[in-house]
Amino acid sequence: MMEEKEKKDLYILGIESSCDETAAAVVKNGRQVLSNVISSQIDIHTIYGGVVPEIASRLHCENINGVIRLALKEAGMDFSGIDAIAVTYGPGLVGALLVGVSEAKALAYALGKPLVGVHHIEGHVAANFLEYPELEPPFVCLIVSGGHTHLVIVRDYGSFEIIGRSQDDAAGEAYDKVARAVGLGYPGGPKVDRAAREGNPYAIVFPKGEVRDHPYDFTFSGLKSAVLNHINKAHMTGEEINVADLTASFQYTVVEALVSRTIDCAKAYGFHKVAMAGGVSANSALRKAMQEACEKNGMSCYYPAPVFCTDNAAMIAAAGYYEYLKGSRAGTDLNAVPNLKLGER
């Protein structure tokens, strides 16, 4: 009788430092989170009203060793149990990325372990695999982060076909700018999310931002200008701004655009699985609206838990696992690529 070869479990250490979170995580077989440590720099950047790249790099340097040590400890293991190290190498802030990349290269070299370079956005998409063990490509995914608004078909693990994108601001950027304009400060997304809960989404009608001849593209610059005009007009006439109504109306317009294009895309391309990824997918109104639209159209809706929507290293380990299985390996020449495009390696 032929003995069946037992499949070996794979433990990936993920490292993420592309923006203002220093993060490390251990993930088993690309799906099971054994630890997820995130050291957020938000308190310090809040003083300046946004991420200061130089400060971000310095804090990553200070914290990265402790964060990795804690991720191993929480997973109940040491370096010897790790099969590969996966690190974000782009896109992001170059100085911030370099800290994670240098650390990962040093560890891989010293420990003699394989190194895998991970695209940050591929990581965001892979956060869905942590949440839904049964989810497999292909599916439609709306990627909405601070720097990206992309509607893609995930053909296979790490393989994307871009169907639509923002022609100007990313959704997260629009949230952050509106938050600043109404005095909610940084980080804008969660603050707008909270303020909007008390407001009337139909109070102010904002432009929908359709892009002619590009049914799956987005534009948020007209909406942003309309919000700023509304605020300026109120200042000039001495009227008080109703922040709850303003943020609720802004959010309603953004969510409408994101959900309608995503559902249209899934219908047109014949998909019944719709996922979301990136920091803005933590938004409560977007999650509710996408869920409802999917149910109405007989589609399954997937989105990660909020902690896996925003930047974390478990998603990098998950994406790294599938890259590792494909045979992707990085050498000591791996470099940070700040403007790495989606679909590039």
The one among 22, 63, 145, 149 contacting Zn ion by CB under 5 A: 145
Minimum CB separation of residue 233 from ligand KG4 in Å reads: 25
Which one of 278, 290, 330, 337 is in contact with ligand KG4 (CB under 6 A)? 278
Nearest distance in Å: CB 145, Zn ion: 5
Report the site for ligand KG4 in 110-129 (rule: CB under 6 A): 124
Beta bridge partners, 117, equal: 87
Q: How far apart are CA 34 and CA 57, in angstroms?
A: 27
For residues 178 and 158, give the distance between their C-alpha atoms in angstroms, rounded to a whole number: 33
Closer to Zn ion at the Cβ: 165 or 230?
165
Neighbouring C-alpha atoms within 13 Å toward the C-beta of 46: 12
Which of Zn ion, ligand KG4, none does residue 187 bind to, with CB < 5 to 8 Å depending on kind? ligand KG4
Residue 189 binds ligand KG4 (CB under 6 A): yes
CB 311 within 8 A of CB 16: yes
Q: Where are any strands of DSSP class E within 200-299? A: 273-277
188 binds ligand KG4 (CB under 6 A): yes
Structure tokens at 225: 């200008």
Binds ligand KG4 by CB under 6 A, chosen from 137, 147, 158, 164: 147
Q: Is 310 in the site for ligand KG4 (CB under 6 A)?
A: yes
* Of 324, 242, 249, 316, nearest in space to 285 by CA: 249
- The answer to whether residue 320 forms part of the interface with ligand KG4 (CB under 6 A) is no
- Identify which of residues 35 and 145 has a Cβ nearer to Zn ion in the complex: 145
Where do we find the tokens 């990795």?
Answer: 68
Distance, in Å, from the CA atom of 253 to the CA atom of 306, rounded to the nearest integer, reads: 22
The C-alpha atoms of residue 198 and residue 184 are separated, in whole angstroms, by: 14
323 touching ligand KG4, by CB under 6 A: no
Please report which residue ranges of 76-119 form alpha helices under DSSP H. 94-111
DSSP state of 297: T
Question: According to CB under 6 A, which one of 12, 13, 15, 19 is a site residue for ligand KG4?
Answer: 19
Residue 21 as a binder of Zn ion (CB under 5 A): the answer is: no
Per CB under 6 A, 280 contacts ligand KG4:
yes
Query: According to CB under 5 A, which residues from 277 to 336 bind Zn ion?
Result: 311
Tell me if 85 sits within 8 A of 107, measured CB to CB. yes
Q: Please say whether the dihedral angle defined by the alpha carbons of residues 309, 55, 75 and 26, taken in this order, is positive or negative.
A: positive
Nearer to ligand KG4 (CB atom), residue 78 or residue 292: 292
Q: Using the rule CB under 6 A, is 145 a contact of ligand KG4?
A: yes
The region of 36-44, 144-152, 165-173, 179-187 touching Zn ion under the rule CB under 5 A is 144-152
Query: Should residue 36 be labelled a site residue for ligand KG4 when binding is judged by CB under 6 A?
Result: no
Rounded Cα distance, 206 and 227, in Å: 8
Applying CB under 6 A, the site for ligand KG4 has a residue count of: 20
Nearest to residue 11, comparing CAs of 111, 90, 113?
A: 113
Contacting residues toward Zn ion, per CB under 5 A: 145, 311
Contacting residues toward ligand KG4, per CB under 6 A: 19, 124, 145-147, 172, 175-176, 187-190, 193, 278-280, 282-283, 310-311
